[in-house]
Every structure is written in C-alpha cells, then in structure tokens.
Amino acid sequence: MQIKYRGGQTFEVKSKDLEINFSGNLSINGFVFPGPGEYEKGGVIINGIADGDNTIYIIHLEDMTVCHLGKINHGLSEEEAKQAGDIDILFLPLGQDGSADLKTSLKSLSKIDPRIVVPMLFDESILNEFKKSEGYTDGELDILKIKKIDLPEEERKIVILAAL
C-alpha cells in the first residue's frame, strides 16, 4: 500500500490496481461512495460510520485496517471507537477547518490506539504541539509505503506526510 497526503483531509491510497481517495467523500477508482453504510468494491471492504455531517470511513485493504476520521469535530464516542475496531493506520485530524482540537483528538487517539497515526487538518503550530505530545522527532515523508509485515508490534508510530 502506498499513501500520499494531498493536504487538508485528502489522502490518496494506492494498492495494486486500486486508487482510493479520501477527501470528505471516499472513492475507489472514481466510484464515489454515498456516505454511511457497508460496501465492497474491488476486494476492499468499507464501513462508513455516520457522525452528523461527517462520515468516519474504515477500509480493509491488504490485510490492514485504515480509518479516516474525516472532519470529526468532537471526541470519538465509545460506540464509534467500538465500531471502528482494531485500526492499523489512522488519519487523525488535529484541529483545522472545524475539526476537533488537538486535546480532543488526542483523547480519540487513545480510544482507538492504532499502530500508525498520520496527522491531517493541521497548521504548523498545531503539528508542533502534536509532535511534542507524542515525542516525535523524525522528519516528513513524501509517500508512506507499507505492508502488513511493516506494522509496528509494540509502540505506536507517528508518520508525518508532506502535502504533495
């Protein structure tokens, strides 16, 4: 799987012959999903969880589970965390464009406890606060290339992607 960050809440995920885009909506190879519900497309299982005007998307791809919280503007409820299940990669909003503030996002992060966190919806000062709170010292990547075998076993990994 290959993940690129396009800024805001937009990510492009490529896997074999599939191109998945998260940008408020979810699309696979150009097919846009209508929102909450359970779907399957090209071998990818999708669960869209209703959250007011927002949809939280969970996709199962290459034996990994990816969660995109969208512009969630509150803390994740216990029910939403339970519905999300075990998450390998989480796209976490950090307070920009009406999404939950950093403190609230960190609480949601602790409820999900993913193996990898990729921040989104941030400005530089928010990102710096997040890095400090998580003890992050590495630089940014242009592209995250990951396989199931590469997922961390013990500690959560933070990956900062540069917007392309």
pLDDT of residue 115: 96
pLDDT at residue 19, rounded to an integer: 96
Say what the pLDDT of residue 100 is: 93
**Do 84 and 58 contact (CB within 8 A), yes or no?**
yes
- Residues 145-156 have a mean pLDDT of 94
Task: Please report, rounded to a whole number, the percentage of residues in the chain having pLDDT higher than 70.
Answer: 100
Residue 160 has pLDDT above 90, yes or no: yes
C-alpha closest to that of 137 among 156, 160, 115, 114: 160
Name the band, by pLDDT with cuts 50, 70 and 90, for residue 16.
confident
Q: DSSP state, 34?
A: -
Q: What is the mean pLDDT of residues 71-94?
A: 94
* pLDDT average, residue stretch 69-74: 94
Place 96 in a pLDDT band, splitting at 50, 70 and 90.
very high
For residues 25 and 162, give the distance between their C-alpha atoms in angstroms, rounded to a whole number.
Answer: 21
Predicted pLDDT at 24: 83
163: DSSP letter: B
The DSSP output letter for 99 is P
Q: pLDDT tens digits, residue range 101-114?
A: 999 999 999 999 99
Computed over every residue of the chain, the mean pLDDT equals 94
For residue 101, what is the DSSP state? P
For the record, the structure tokens of 46 come out as 């999708």
Domains for the chain: give ranges and CATH numbers: 2-161 (3.60.15.10)
pLDDT tens, position by position, 21-70: 999 899 999 999 999 999 999 999 999 999 989 999 999 999 999 999 99
What are the C-alpha distances in Å from 110 to residues 54, 75, 114, 119, 143? 20, 11, 8, 14, 25
**The total number of residues written for the chain in this structure:** 164
